[in-house]
Amino acid sequence: MKPLKLHLQNVGPFMDETIDFTQLHNNELFLISGKTGSGKSMLFDAIVFALYGKASTASRKEGALRSHFADGKSPMEVELIFQLKDKQFKVIRQGAFVKEGNKNQTHPNLAVYELENDRYELRESKVNAGNNYIQELLGVNIEQFRQLFILPQGEFKKFLFSKSSSKQEILRTLFNTNRFEALQQRLVNQNKEEKKKIEMRHQQIEQLWNKVEDFDNEKLQEYKTLPSIQTEKLLNSIPEFERIGKEIYQQLENEKIQQDELKQKAEKSFREAEELNQKMAEQSDLTAQLETLEKQASEIKILEAQLKKIREVRPLHQIIENISGQTAKLNELNDRFEKIEAHIQQYQSQLQTVTTQQEKLAETQNDIELQQQFMNDTQYFYQNHQQYKNAYRNQAQVQEEYEQSQKDLKQNEQLLKRIEADYQNEQPDYERLNQLTQQIFDLKQQIKDTEATIEKEEAQVQRLTRLKVLEQELTDNTQKLNEFQAKISQFNTNQLELDNQETMIKKLQSMLQPGDQCPICGNTIQSLSDHLDFEELRAQREMLNTLHENKEEIRTAHSKLEAEYNMLKSEVEKFEREELPENNTQILQDLKKQYEKAETDKQHQDKRNKEIEKANAQVQQIKDDIQSLQLTLTQKKADIEKIDGLIEDFEKGTSFRNVMDFMNDFAQKQDMVKDYQKQTEALKQQEIEVKQQIAIEQTKHTSVQDNRKETDKAIAHLKQQSQIEMENIGIQSTDEVQEILDLMPKKEEIEERIKIYHDKENNLSHKLAELKAVIGNQEHPDLEQLSNNLETQKRVLEEKSKRLNEHEFKLQLNASHFTEIHEHIDVLAKELAEQQEIFDLAEILSGKNIQKLTLENYVLVYYLEMILEYANKRFMRMTNNRYILKRSEEVTQGYSGLEIVVFDSHSNKTRHISTLSGGESFQASLALALGLSEVVQQESGGITLESMFIDEGFGTLDQETLETALDTLLNIKSTGRMVGIISHVSELKQRIPTILEVKTDAYQSTTQFKF
Per residue in 157-203, pLDDT (tens digit) is 667 777 777 777 767 766 777 777 777 677 777 777 777 777 787 78
Paired with 81 in beta bridges are 5, 90
**Choice among 429-443, 447-461, 572-586, 943-957 with the minimum mean pLDDT:** 943-957
Neighbours of 825 (CB within 10 A): 17
42 and 1008 in contact (C-beta within 8 Å)? no
In a domain, 738, yes or no: yes
Percent of the chain's residues with pLDDT above 70? 82
Residue 868: inside a domain: no
3-state secondary structure 17-28: EEEEHHHHCCCC
Angle at 295 between CA 293 and CA 297, to 5 degrees: 85
Helix (H, G, I), strand (E, B) or coil at 65: helix
Lowest-pLDDT range of 32-46, 47-61, 310-324, 351-365: 310-324
Give the CATH number for residue 100: 3.40.50.300
Nearest to 543 by CA among 482, 499, 479: 499
Query: Does the pLDDT value for residue 437 go beyond 50?
Result: yes
Query: What band does 126 get if pLDDT is binned at 50, 70 and 90?
Result: very high
Q: Taking a C-beta distance cutoff of 8 angstroms, is the pair 487, 544 a contact?
A: no
Helix or strand holding residue 614 (H, E): helix 584-654
Predicted pLDDT of residue 313:
45
**What integer pLDDT is reported at residue 7 of this predicted model?**
95
CA pair distance 245, 679, nearest whole angstrom? 53
Q: Is the pLDDT higher at 793 or at 849?
A: 793
In which band, very low, low, confident or very high, does the pLDDT at 155 lie, cut at 50, 70 and 90?
A: low
Higher pLDDT, 18 or 670: 18
**Domain end position, chosen among 776, 803, 834:** 776
Once rounded to an integer, what is the mean pLDDT over residues 246-261? 88
Query: What is the average pLDDT across 841-854?
Result: 66
CA distance 528 to 533: 14
Query: How much is the pLDDT for 80?
Result: 95
Residues 6 or more apart in contact with residue 130 via CB below 8 angstroms: 91, 110, 111, 112, 124
* Residues contacting residue 537 through CB under 8 Å, at least 6 positions apart: 495, 496, 498, 499
Domain presence at residue 951 = no
What is the tens place of the pLDDT at every residue in 642-665?
Answer: 888 888 888 888 888 888 888 888
Residue 91: the pLDDT is 96
Q: Is 77 helix (H, G, I), strand (E, B) or coil?
A: strand
For all residues of the chain together, what is the average pLDDT? 79
1006 lies in some domain: yes
Asked if residue 692 belongs to a domain, the reply is yes
Which pLDDT band, with edges at 50, 70 and 90, does 527 fall under? low
Residue 29 lies in a domain: yes
With the CA atoms of 298, 299, 301 and 305 taken in that order, what torsion angle do they form, in degrees rounded to the nearest 10? Answer: 140
Rounded CA separation 481/493 (Å):
18
Q: What is the pLDDT of residue 112?
A: 94
Distance CA 282, CA 276 (A): 10
Per-residue burial over 178-191, b if 16 or more Cβ lie within 10 Å, else e, is eebbeebeebbeeb
- Percent of the chain topping pLDDT 90: 6
Averaged over 359-377, what is the pLDDT? 82
Rg over CA atoms, the chain: 69
Higher pLDDT, residue 17 or 308: 17
pLDDT of residue 500: 46
**Has residue 743 got a pLDDT over 50?**
no
pLDDT of residue 317: 64
Is 421 a member of any domain?
no
Q: Is residue 596 part of a domain?
A: no
pLDDT in tens, 476-509: 888 888 887 888 777 665 554 444 444 445 545 5
Counting every residue written for the chain, the total comes to 1011
Q: What is the pLDDT of residues 683-733, one digit of tens each?
A: 888 888 888 888 888 887 777 787 788 778 777 877 777 677 666 555 566
pLDDT of residue 496: 46
Of the three residues 759, 776, 793, the one that is the final residue of a domain is 776
Task: State residue 6's pLDDT score.
Answer: 94
From CA 916, how far away is CA 918, in angstroms rounded?
A: 7
Check pLDDT > 80 for residue 233. Answer: yes
What SS3 string covers 904-961?
Answer: ECCCCEEEEHHHCCHHHHHHHHHHHHHHHHHHHHHHCCCCCCCEEEEECCHHHCCHHH
Residue 772, domain extent: 285-385+657-776
Distances, alpha carbon 671 to alpha carbons 40, 128, 375, 478, 667, in Å? 120, 93, 11, 148, 6
β 909-912/900-904 pair status? antiparallel
Please give the tally of structural domains in the chain: 2
Residue where a domain terminates, one of 746, 776, 806 = 776
Please give the backbone phi and psi of residue 931, each rounded to the nearest 5 degrees, phi first: -65, -45
Nearest to 591 by CA among 789, 452, 411, 730: 452
Whole-prediction pTM value?
A: 0.39
